[in-house]
Structure 1
Amino acid sequence: GTSREYDARMEERNRERYAGRKDVKLPKTFPGAEQEGERLQKVLARAGYGSRRACEELIEQARVEVNGEIVLEQGLRVDPEKDEIRVDGLTVATQSYQFFALNKPAGVVSTMEDPEGRQCLGDYVTNRETRLFHVGRLDTETEGVILLTNHGELAHRLTHPKYGVQKVYLAHIIGPIPRDLGKQLKDGIQLEDGYARADHFRVVEQTGKHYMVEVTLHEGRKHIVRRMLAEAGFPVESLVRTSFGPIALGDQKSGWLRRLSNTEVGMLMREVEL
């Protein structure tokens, strides 16, 4: 149609009009303005993605986005405070954020300090330059993965019911257990503060009347796994949280603290839409 011809003509005219002005440098408003921001590869290197050279390779491989656009040029200047930087689609924590997973031993209180001098999470964090928050809590007698970070918003969201982050627990109970225990837990157990439902249940191993069972849920209420199993008739002998969202305990020893990998941090952030 004629309108397309007209568009094409207009576009050509605009191109001619601007063609001669391509390399006109606009005056900088203040000296050193072209030095604004920080080079992208430097920001990535500081966030833990390897050497600057390794970070340049990430950019070359088209794996880095800034504000939704894939970056291909080297040396792009960014503002780590405001720009959203992603590697392989996962958000990069650009500020000096720290993220740790602790395998909390039994008997340790889930607070950063304890006025009564009992062992607490703070005892496991040696570098105290930054204030770390614990993400949710574990009962004192429960062991397993608990996250520590100085990223307040992440800590807040990860414990918010809206995001329903899944947790996996391994419980030692004394049987025999009925065939339909899993179904009971998934259908929901009536507790004094409302129903509680498991997402998954399986028997991991059995020795005589000793059962190790795995319970997965996204509930965050106090003592929830202990209360559910007790209500079903099986008080918990011991309990370990083996994963919190995408962060698994793996073979991390009791009482050990480890720094999360960039991928793990990215997965946590994706979990809560950060």
Structure 2
Amino acid sequence: MTDRRETPRPARRTSKPKPQSEKPPKDWSDGERIAKWLARAGVASRRACETMIENGEIAVNGRKLTSPAFKVTGSETITVKGKRVSAPEATRLWRYHKPSGLITTTNDPAGRRTIFDEMPKHLPRVVTVGRLDLTTEGLLLLTNDGELARALELPSNEFPRIYRARAHGKVTPEKLQALADGIEVDGVRYAPIKAELERETGTNNWIRVELSEGKKREVRRALESVGLDVNRLIRVAYGPFTLDDLHPGAVEEVLASELKAKLGSMIKPSSARPSRGARKPKPPRPDVETGLHKPKRNRTIRKK
């Protein structure tokens, strides 16, 4: 009987596991950061958009973002609080004569009327360049470009804000010089303010005030600190744009050619859309005291 010896089988070769390929890094060369894109689309300022992202109010292709470190090209479906945002349009700017009694915000918890409650329905999504207090009147700039709004607000760009203030109290050279030197009120330091007396009307005085910042209630607080009690405040200019004969409640678009000429490199050549501008409404009879136009009767803000 032959002895059969089984020949050992060769060891089975096992294939080495393939190394897992790492996800390719994101290409940050294309697109732009989501907050900047939203700001250009007129949703809000870049900072406000970043806050909205942190609050989970922004989604891209159905996925909520938790960090502003995300880029988009505009081909995505981008939503804000569930509503789709259209791609940014060419940069546009409007002059608006804000009446007294309106809040400069999108909504008010107290139920007071806002400027957006009074805006024409055909106006696209816009943001304001800064704010005006409840009782402050005059020029308020609106734009569909949040990046432009932010640039116009920055003190470093030194866009002057010019107001006409009616104030009770004696105006003296010493008080005007104190404002020009820069003052501090309740721990808040204000940059030098140019103020000059225009005319006296009994116990009240009309004062021209020019500043380059725009802190909360700056004009009122600064004048009150030198003994001048403001009872009416009208902004007549912001940077190169003026109120002119725009009557209260009216909105007028700035021509693209004017926008480019006055803001220069802040407006990209491809961002200024051709515009004929809005037709100027016929102004009402001017106020004898201020030289400005009397506001039309506004039933929407009248107390019931």
TM-score, length of structure 2 as denominator length:
0.55
Distance 1:125 1:267, change over 3 A: farther
SS in 2 for 1:180: helix
Report the alpha carbon displacement of residue 264 of structure 1 after superposing the two structures with TM: 3.7
Q: Where does the alignment leave 5 or more consecutive residues of structure 2 unmatched?
A: 1-87, 269-304
Match of 2:172 in 1: 178
The answer as to 2:234 corresponding to 1:249 is no
Q: Where does the alignment leave 5 or more consecutive residues of structure 1 unmatched?
A: 1-93
In the aligned structure 1, how far is the partner of 2:177 from the partner of 2:267?
31
Distance 1:273 1:199, change over 3 A: farther
Report the alpha carbon displacement of residue 223 of structure 1 after superposing the two structures with TM: 0.3
Counterparts of residues 88-237 of structure 1 (less than 5 Å) = 95-127=89-121, 130-237=124-231
Match of 1:261 in 2: 255
In the aligned structure 2, how far is the partner of 1:239 from the partner of 1:171?
5
Q: Which amino acid aligns with 1:248?
A: T
Spell out, residue by residue over 1:200-237, the C-alpha distance to the aligned partner (whole angstroms, 9 max, x if none).
22111112222000110001210000010011111211
Report the alpha carbon displacement of residue 115 of structure 1 after superposing the two structures with TM: 4.4
Report the alpha carbon displacement of residue 249 of structure 1 after superposing the two structures with TM: 0.5
Report the alpha carbon displacement of residue 96 of structure 1 after superposing the two structures with TM: 3.3
Spell out, residue by residue over 1:116-158, the C-alpha distance to the aligned partner (whole angstroms, 9 max, x if none).
4322121232245732101110111100100111111101111
Q: Which amino acid aligns with 2:245?
A: D
Report the alpha carbon displacement of residue 195 of structure 1 after superposing the two structures with TM: 2.2
Structure with the larger helix share: 1
Spell out, residue by residue over 1:11-30, the C-alpha distance to the aligned partner (whole angstroms, 9 max, x if none).
xxxxxxxxxxxxxxxxxxxx
Q: Verify the 8 A CA contact 2:103 2:112 in the aligned structure 1.
A: yes
In the aligned structure 2, how far is the partner of 1:229 from the partner of 1:218?
16
Q: Which amino acid aligns with 2:172?
A: P
Q: Which amino acid aligns with 2:149?
A: A
In the aligned structure 2, how far is the partner of 1:146 from the partner of 1:207?
27
Counterparts of residues 13-92 of structure 1 (less than 5 Å) = none
Report the alpha carbon displacement of residue 271 of structure 1 after superposing the two structures with TM: 8.0
SS in 2 for 1:162: helix
Q: Which amino acid aligns with 1:103?
A: H
In the aligned structure 1, how far is the partner of 2:265 from the partner of 2:158?
9
TM-score, length of structure 1 as denominator length:
0.61
